[in-house]
C-alpha cells in the first residue's frame, strides 16, 4: 500500500508493506551520502537484513542505543559531531531504522545538521506508525519528553511490516495504544472493529489484520497533520491521552502506549465530569485490563507530581493545563481543565482501577 501526503508542496510517500526497506534505493539514489542509523535491538535481530541494506545503499551505519535513552542532548552532541566529521552536504540523507525514539532522534539530527538535510523513516514498531508520520522530531529534556525539537518532514516513510514479527509483547501492546487512540479519534465503528478483532491479548499478539488498522491509523493522522502541521489547532487532537499519559510515562517509565491508554481512561473521566460526556468508563477499564495494560500502576502515584508534569505540556497557555477531551468517541475538543477537576479525576481513576483490577484478577 502506498499513501502520499497532500501538503501544498514537499509531499512524501508512505509505503506500508513487507520488505519495504528493499525499495530504499529508489529513494536514496540521488543523494551524495546515505547514513543509516539503526536501533541496536533491530540490528541484532535483523542483522542480515540490515547488513544487506547497508552493503547496497549506505555509506555508513550507526547502531544506536535502543529506545528513549538515546533522545538526550549528550547523544545528540556526540552524533552531530560524528556526522560533521564525515563532511556531510545538503545532499546527505539520514535513514532512521527503528522505533519512535530512533525516528525522533535521527529526525532531529537531520533537522539541525547544516540547517536541515533530508531523512527517511523506516519504522520497525507498531508504535512508530504514529511517530514516523507528520514530521515531529525531537529529544527529551530533564523537564520532560520531546521538549527540544523541530517540525521536519521525512523525505519518505518505508514501513516494512517484516520487522513487526519480532516485536516483544510489551512493544505490541504499546503500539496498540496509538492504534486505539487513532480509532477513538475516527469514531465508534473504528473502535468496535478493533475491539472485536483484538478481543484479548492473544488475538492482538497474532497481529492478524494489523496492516489494515495501521493504514487506517496513518490515514487518520495524515488527515489531521496535513491541515495543521505545526499544531496550532486540530493537530492537538492527536495528543488524546498524552497529557496525563506523558506524565505517567515520565514518572513510571512504563512504555509510551501503555501510558497513553491510562491517559485515555483519565481523559474519559474528565470528559464525563466537565462536559457531561457519557463514556462507559467501566467498559474501557475492563478492556484495557484484560489486554494486559498495567492500570494498577496508578495506585503507586500521587497527583501532585503528575500535575507538575502536566504543567510542562506544550498545549498549555496562560489559561492553565489544556487537555484533549472526547465529547463522544470521534468528537475531540481541546479544553482548559481546572486543577480541582484534574485532582478529582485522579481519585476516581484510582478507585475504579482498584476495584476492577482487584475484582477481575480474582475472578
Query: Given the rule CB under 8 A, which residues bind a second copy?
Result: 32, 73, 77, 80-81, 84-85, 87, 89-91, 111-116, 136, 138, 141-144, 146-151, 230-232, 311-312, 314, 316-318
Which residues are 322's β-sheet partners?
Answer: 336
Q: Annotation-wise, does 233 bind a ligand?
A: no
Distance in angstroms (rounded) separating the CA atoms of residues 89 and 93: 9
Compare residues 166 and 311 and give the one whose CB is closer to a second copy.
Answer: 311
Give min distance, CB of 180 to a second copy, in A: 25
To the question of whether residue 4 is assigned a binding role by annotation, the answer is: no
Q: Compare residues 117 and 191 and give the one whose CB is closer to a second copy.
A: 117
Tell me which H or E stretch contains 269: helix 256-275
DSSP reduced 3-state for 52: helix
8 A C-beta contact, residue 337 and residue 323? yes
What is the smallest separation between the CB atom of 93 and a second copy, expressed in angstroms? Answer: 13
**Is 117 annotated as belonging to a binding site?**
no
Least distance (Å) from a second copy to the CB of residue 296? 31
Asked if 245 and 264 count as a contact pair (C-beta separation under 8 A), the reply is yes
Nearest to 128 by CA among 87, 95, 96: 96
CB 12, min distance to a second copy, A: 16
CB-wise, 160 or 313, nearer to a second copy? 313
Does the annotation list 70 as a binding residue? yes
* Residue with Cβ nearer a second copy (87 or 276): 87
Closer Cβ to a second copy, 117 or 268, answer by number: 117
Task: Say how far residue 210 (Cα) sits from the centre of its chain.
Answer: 16
99 marked as part of a ligand binding site: no
For residue 263, say whether it is annotated as part of any ligand binding site.
no
DSSP-assigned letters across all residues of 342-355: HHHHHHHHHHHHHH
Q: How far is the CB of 46 from a second copy (least distance, A)?
A: 30
- CA gap 100, 126 in Å, rounded: 9
Find out whether 107 is annotated in a ligand binding site: no
Helix (H, G, I), strand (E, B) or coil at 150: strand
Task: Give the C-alpha distances (Å, rounded to integers) separating 288 from 151, 267, 310.
Answer: 32, 14, 23
Annotated binding site: 66-71, 100-104, 124-125, 136, 145, 178, 242, 256
Annotated binding site for NAD(+): 66-71, 100-104, 124-125, 136, 145
Amino acid at each position: 500500500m502506498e499513501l502520499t501526503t497532500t501538503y501544498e508542496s514537499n509531499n512524501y510517500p508512505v509505503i506500508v508493506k513487507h520488505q519495504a526497506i528493499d525499495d530504499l534505493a529508489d529513494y536514496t539514489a540521488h543523494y551524495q551520502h546515505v547514513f543509516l542509523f539503526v536501533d541496536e535491538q533491530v540490528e541484532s535481530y535483523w542483522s542480515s537484513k540490515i547488513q544487506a541494506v547497508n552493503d547496497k545503499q549506505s555509506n555508513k551505519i550507526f547502531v544506536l542505543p535502543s529506545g528513549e535513552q538515546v533522545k538526550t542532548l549528550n547523544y545528540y552532541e556526540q552524533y552531530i559531531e560524528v556526522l560533521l566529521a564525515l563532511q556531510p552536504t545538503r545532499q546527505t540523507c539520514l535513514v532512521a531504522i527503528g522505533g519512535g525514539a530512533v525516528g525522533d532522534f535521527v529526525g532531529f539530527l537531520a533537522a539541525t545538521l547544516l540547517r536541515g538535510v533530508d531523512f527517511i523513516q523506516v519504522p520497525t514498531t507498531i508504535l512508530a506508525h504514529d511517530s514516523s508520520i507528520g514530521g515531529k522530531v525531537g529529544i527529551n529534556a530533564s523537564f520532560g519528553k520531546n521538549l527540544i525539537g523541530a517540525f521536519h518532514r521525512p523525505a519518505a516513510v518505508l514501513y516494512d511490516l517484516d520487522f513487526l514479527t519480532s516485536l516483544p509483547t510489551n512493544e505490541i501492546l504499546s503500539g496498540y495504544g496509538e492504534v486505539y487512540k487513532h480509532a477513538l479519534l475516527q469514531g465508534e465503528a473504528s473502535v468496535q472493529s478493533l475491539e472485536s478483532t483484538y478481543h484479548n491479548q492473544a488475538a492482538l499478539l497474532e497481529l492478524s489484520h494489523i496492516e489494515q488498522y495501521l493504514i487506517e491509523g496513518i490515514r487518520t493522522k495524515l488527515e489531521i497533520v496535513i491541515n495543521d502541521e505545526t499544531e496550532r489547532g486540530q493537530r492537538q487532537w492527536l495528543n488524546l491521552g498524552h497529557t496525563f499519559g506523558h506524565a505517567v510515562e515520565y514518572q513510571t517509565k512504563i512504555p509510551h502506549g501503555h501510558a497513553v491508554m491510562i491517559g485515555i481512561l483519565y481523559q474519559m473521566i474528565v470528559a464525563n465530569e466537565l462536559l457531561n460526556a457519557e463514556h462507559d468508563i467501566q467498559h474501557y477499564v475492563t478492556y484495557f485490563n484484560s489486554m494486559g495494560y498495567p492500570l494498577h500502576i496508578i495506585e503507586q502515584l500521587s497527583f501532585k507530581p503528575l500535575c507538575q508534569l502536566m504543567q510542562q505540556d506544550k498545549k498549555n497557555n496562560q489559561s492553565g493545563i489544556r487537555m484533549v477531551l472526547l465529547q463522544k468517541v470521534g468528537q475531540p475538543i481541546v479544553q482548559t481543565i481546572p486543577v480541582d477537576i484534574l485532582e478529582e479525576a485522579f481519585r476516581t481513576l484510582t478507585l475504579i482501577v482498584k476495584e476492577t483490577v482487584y475484582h477481575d484478577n480474582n475472578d
